[in-house]
Structure 1
Amino acid sequence: MTSIVTNVGALSALATLRTISGSMQQVQSEVATGARISTAADNAAYWSISTTMTSDKKAISAVADALNLADAMVNVAYEGLNAAVDVLAEFKAKLIAGREPGVDTGKVQKELDQLQDQMMSIATSASFNGQNWLNTNVNDIFDPAQNTTSMVASFSRGASGVSLGTMEHRLAETSLFNSTGGGLLQADPRDPKTLGGIRYEYLDTDRHLVRSTSNYSGSGAPSFVFNFTGPLQFGAGDSITFDVTVDKDNPADGLPNPQDPGLTTSITIDRSTIDTVLGAGANGRVSTYVDYERVLFHALSATGSGAYATTYTDWRHQPIIDRIGIGSNETSGLNGSYIGISNFTSTVGSGGLSNKEQFSSRGQDHTLYFKPFRIFDGVEVSFDFDINRAAPQSYSFDRDYINTTLGETDGSVDTAVEMQTLLQSMLSADWPDLIIDVPTADTITLETDVNADRLAGAKTSIGFTGISVNIEPIPTLNFMDIDIAVRPDLIETYINYVDVVSERVIDGASTLGALQNRIGLQGDFAESLMDSIDTGIGKLVDADMNEASTRLKALQTQEQLATQALSIANSANQNILQLLQ
């Protein structure tokens, strides 16, 4: 039906044209922006994800920039330490030259002064963006809370929110000079020195400071010596007689009664003894000290006296002429350690032997010479301890142990009484007969209770072995204080010191090298991560340009046809009006 009120064809064509125009606007937007989702109205979920990830990409880009900054800082510090290694090598060479006889140490020191200045210049110049890892100002460089510097390394978004990952560097590993001490080229303030007397210090023949790894007290079996006077001529009725006593208790050791009198054996040397030992050809004559020692050794051994006779040699292993010794084998099974000759009689002369006696001391009495010390974080002391060569027990302590045991806060042991408490806390449970006492303000004694341990002599000992501090060796000098013109006698000590600090500086450079590698890997990962985010966002919101351009061409054609259809529909009413004219 045709109507002049409602043009159904025109309305239909107009509706089609509107639909086509709307689609064309969307496709034109995709072609113009390259994104099929550019507003929240296009797809709220995908638009939200892409917007968040775009923001994260910008954050990761900032992390990449921070990594580049950190890489520059590490590179500057590494080059500084690398230069410091070269200076130390040259410094050592000059020290060795200064050791040669006839060298003017004053002139060599002038060269060393220049190298010391160069080292300081390297440390102060290795700065980037106001940061210097070689010349620091840290109150306690060994405190992780104070010596740690952080660098941004990563950005991540998780269920709990956004977080930044960091890489940390300890300045103690690279600082050459620190304002409060503790730099790689400075005396290490963590030096525990004698550990309160557990170990001792001495300078060896090359003037190197040596810390003992053991502090052990023992005793030897008792003996005495005499010089042979002879010869001795034994006839048929001649003899030498005496009593030999071994291993009686020493009243001076404070042992409770009763005191053991030891093992006493009567000894007789006559013509038959001489013939047995030296042979009938000797005709009863003891001509030399070697002959007399052989006769005495036989007489003491044959009777089971527990004593012996011996001769001696000097440090060149040459015989000491006429020197004879008498001692205890300590095989009697008694606690004491003693040798004694009594009731000596002779019809042929003494040969130098006479009434004599000798006690041996108790080896389980030991004195420590206390000096205050402090244990820092990260430092651990370990040692073994034993009494009378029993199976040693292992012990260790650190800052926390000291603080807990002594009620301290800084890991310090300030008095001999505190050291006594520390030792008792470790040793007393395993060695119940051990007595630890403080006779003076700077001495500590370790000994066993004589009521429980009456032993004396070679079978006794007490003390520490395997003493170790986990951070040693450490420098005990300051690099800038080295002066061979003033102290030429310390050249060997200085050379040893340079060896130690060189290793520390090399370790610091190695640490920076590892950090450089990690920063490089993290930077590459950040770049790769940003590329991956770009790809992911593109898959969500990017338009397919081939498809969009094809659709646009089709919509343009449809728009032309719809416009033409609208024109035709509008012309129908004009035809009706013409019929009515």
Structure 2
Amino acid sequence: MTSILTNTSAMAALRTLRDVGNRLSSLQGEVSSGLRVQNAQDNAAYWSIATTMHSDSKAVSAVADAISLGAAKVDTAYSGLVSVLDVMSDFKSKLVSATEDGIDKAKIQTELDQLKLQVTSIANSSSFNGQNWLNTDIADIYDVDNNSASVVTSFVRGQDGSVAVNSSETHLTATSLFNSTGGGLLQKDPRDITTIGGMRYLANSVIAGKPTQIWVPETANGYSAHFPFTFTGPMTFGAGNSINFNITVDKDNPADGIDPPYNPGKTTTVSITRATIDAVDPSLNGVISTFTQYRQVLSYALSQANTGAYATFVSDGHGGIVPDVISIGTLQNRAFGLDGSYVEVSGFSANGVSGGGLGNQFDQGVRGSKLTLDFTPFQDFRDGEDPDGITVSFSFAVNNMPAKTYSFDRTYVNSVLGTDTGKVETADQMVTLLNSLLSADWPTLQIESLSPSSVMLKTDPAMDRRAGSDTSVRFSNIKVSNEPLPLFDFMDIDIVENPDLVSDYLTYIETASQRITSGAAQLGSLQKRLELQADFTSHLMDSIDSGVGRLTDADMEEQSARLAALQTQQQLAVQSLSIANNGPQELMTLFR
């Protein structure tokens, strides 16, 4: 039906034309922007992801710039340390020259002074953007909370949506050559832990032919009872001649602090006759002419009687023996059930024999299960390389039992003593520290303070009545994590004023160079880390852009085809509308 009131064909064509126009407008927007998701109404989920990732991409780009800045700082510090190592090598060669006889040390010192100035120049110049890792100004360079320098390494978005910028830290104790308050690699280290509360002491020694002092662990060693006598001879034994005596070994010593009853030890009667001498050496014909012969006879007689004693020579301390001197001692044979260390000859009598030199005599062995420490306060300092501070390790044993190893650091000291300074300031605090380390493994050990300056470690006499050579309390294998310490400043080296210290200076330069090498190695590792992170960051930004593109970018080939199709549809819709509008005009001709 054709109506002059309602042109349904024109309405349909107009709707089609409008729809095609809207689609064509949207498509032209995609083609011109290159995005198929331009705003939230296009695709809320993709638009949200793209917006977030675009923001992250900008942040990662900023991190890339920060990595480049950090790498520049690391490169500057590394170059400075490597240059200093070259100077230190020259410095060392000059010191070696100074060891030659007849060399003019004043001229060499002039060269050394110039090298020292060069080191300070390098340290002062190794600055980037106002930051200098070789010449620092840190109030406490050993405080891990204050001695760190950081460089940005990455931007991270967590699964919960949180964001963070990660960084890598380096402790300036590893790179600082000179610090305003001391503690640089070329300065004295004031963190000398000295005797560690009395656990060790300085002793004179000779190393490589040079007198020096070394730290020696404190020990207390007991020794067995023995007494010497001087032989006089000859001694002639005929029929009926003899020497007789009683020998007592290993009775308890009340002075050791043990409780009664006291064991009287083992007493044996010994007789030496012509038959005894013949049993030892028939060729002697009963005549003992030398102290070596008498020692043989005594050893045989003491052994045959199962006395628990022995006869021996006395060392002269130089690999030889003292002429004419014989020693009688206890074997401390615990199979007798005796804990003491004692030897006594009593009731001595000679029947028709003169000489020999042996007579009534005794000696009490020493109990070594008691060690007194000369306590001096000490501090476990902070350490930039270890937030727990300096580590002290040592071995400890009682009565020749297998030693066990222990260690403590600043964190442990503070925990045990309830402080925050790492200081062990009183003898009572030292007792608390040692008890916390040792008591579980050594139940017979008693640790107590005798005075403000002394601490005693001893085994409980009620549980350990032993005395003699197999008793001891000993520290051993003491190691301190920050030792050896530099004992002077690099800038103070002067071979003219201190010609006797050239060897010490050489040792110092070697140690300092090793420490600088270690610092340069740490920076080298950080350089590699930053290089890898910069490369990763570049790839990461490309990956983010690519991923966002997959979500929002338009397929231009597809959109071009669609655009051509819509333009054709638009033309057809216009023609349809024109035809539909011409229909009523044609109808009007029927009424003319």
TM-score with structure 2 length normalisation?
0.87
Query: 1:563 deviation in Å?
Result: 4.5
Equivalent residue number for residue 285 of structure 1: 287
**Cα distance 1:134–1:567, how it changes in 2: closer, same or farther (>3 A)?**
same
Secondary structure of the residue that 2:200 maps to in structure 1?
A: coil
String of CA shifts for 1:511-532, please: whole Å, max 9, x gaps.
2222222222222222112111
Q: Aligned pair 1:502/2:503, yes or no?
A: no
Q: Distance in 2 between matches of 1:479 and 1:202?
A: 26
* Native 8 Å contact 1:246 1:339 kept in 2: yes
Q: Residue 522 of structure 1 aligns to which amino acid in structure 2?
A: Q
Equivalent residue number for residue 81 of structure 2: 81
Q: Aligned pair 1:334/2:338, yes or no?
A: yes
Between 407-416 and 424-433, the greater mean CA deviation after superposition: 424-433
Q: Residue 159 of structure 1 aligns to which amino acid in structure 2?
A: D
String of CA shifts for 1:210-230, please: whole Å, max 9, x gaps.
333x43211222223333333
Secondary structure of the residue that 2:146 maps to in structure 1?
A: helix
String of CA shifts for 1:12-41, please: whole Å, max 9, x gaps.
555544444433333333332222333444
String of CA shifts for 1:172-197, please: whole Å, max 9, x gaps.
33223333333333344444222101
Q: Distance in 2 between matches of 1:434 and 1:4?
A: 122
**Cα distance 1:328–1:486, how it changes in 2: closer, same or farther (>3 A)?**
farther
Q: Distance in 1 between matches of 2:458 and 2:215?
A: 23
Equivalent residue number for residue 265 of structure 2: 262
Q: Distance in 1 between matches of 2:203 and 2:497?
A: 21
Q: Distance in 1 between matches of 2:319 and 2:442?
A: 41
1:240 equivalent among 240, 243, 248: 243
Q: Distance in 2 between matches of 1:537 and 1:529?
A: 12
Query: 1:259 deviation in Å?
Result: 4.3
Secondary structure of the residue that 1:241 maps to in structure 2?
A: strand
1:306 equivalent among 302, 308, 326: 308
Secondary structure of the residue that 2:312 maps to in structure 1?
A: strand
Secondary structure of the residue that 1:533 maps to in structure 2?
A: helix
Q: Aligned pair 1:515/2:555, yes or no?
A: no
Q: Residue 56 of structure 1 aligns to which amino acid in structure 2?
A: D
Query: 1:411 deviation in Å?
Result: 1.3
Q: Residue 180 of structure 1 aligns to which amino acid in structure 2?
A: T
Q: Residue 515 of structure 1 aligns to which amino acid in structure 2?
A: L
Correspondence list, 1:7-86, <5 A: 13-86=13-86
Q: Distance in 2 between matches of 1:263 and 1:183?
A: 65
Q: Distance in 1 between matches of 2:155 and 2:407?
A: 42
* Native 8 Å contact 1:81 1:509 kept in 2: yes
String of CA shifts for 1:262-317, please: whole Å, max 9, x gaps.
333333333333333231x3332222222222122222222222222223555564
2:360 equivalent among 338, 350, 355: 355
String of CA shifts for 1:484-534, please: whole Å, max 9, x gaps.
434444444443433433333222222222222222222222211211111
Secondary structure of the residue that 1:146 maps to in structure 2?
A: coil
Query: 1:391 deviation in Å?
Result: 4.6
* Native 8 Å contact 1:155 1:164 kept in 2: yes
Query: 1:102 deviation in Å?
Result: 4.3
**Cα distance 1:361–1:485, how it changes in 2: closer, same or farther (>3 A)?**
farther
Q: 5+ residue gaps in structure 1?
A: none
Q: Distance in 1 between matches of 2:96 and 2:337?
A: 57
Q: Residue 420 of structure 2 aligns to which amino acid in structure 1?
A: T
Count of aligned positions: 579
Q: Aligned pair 1:388/2:399, yes or no?
A: yes
Between 319-328 and 93-102, the greater mean CA deviation after superposition: 93-102
Q: Residue 142 of structure 2 aligns to which amino acid in structure 1?
A: F
1:275 equivalent among 278, 298, 322: 278
Equivalent residue number for residue 297 of structure 1: 299
Correspondence list, 1:419-498, <5 A: 419-498=430-509
String of CA shifts for 1:328-364, please: whole Å, max 9, x gaps.
2122542322223334444443233343332222111
Secondary structure of the residue that 1:168 maps to in structure 2?
A: strand
Query: 1:370 deviation in Å?
Result: 1.5
TM-score with structure 1 length normalisation?
0.88
Aligned residues with identical type, % of pairs: 50
**Cα distance 1:2–1:334, how it changes in 2: closer, same or farther (>3 A)?**
closer
* Native 8 Å contact 2:223 2:367 kept in 1: no
Aligned-CA RMSD value: 3.2
Q: Aligned pair 1:541/2:555, yes or no?
A: no
Q: Distance in 2 between matches of 1:451 and 1:542?
A: 89
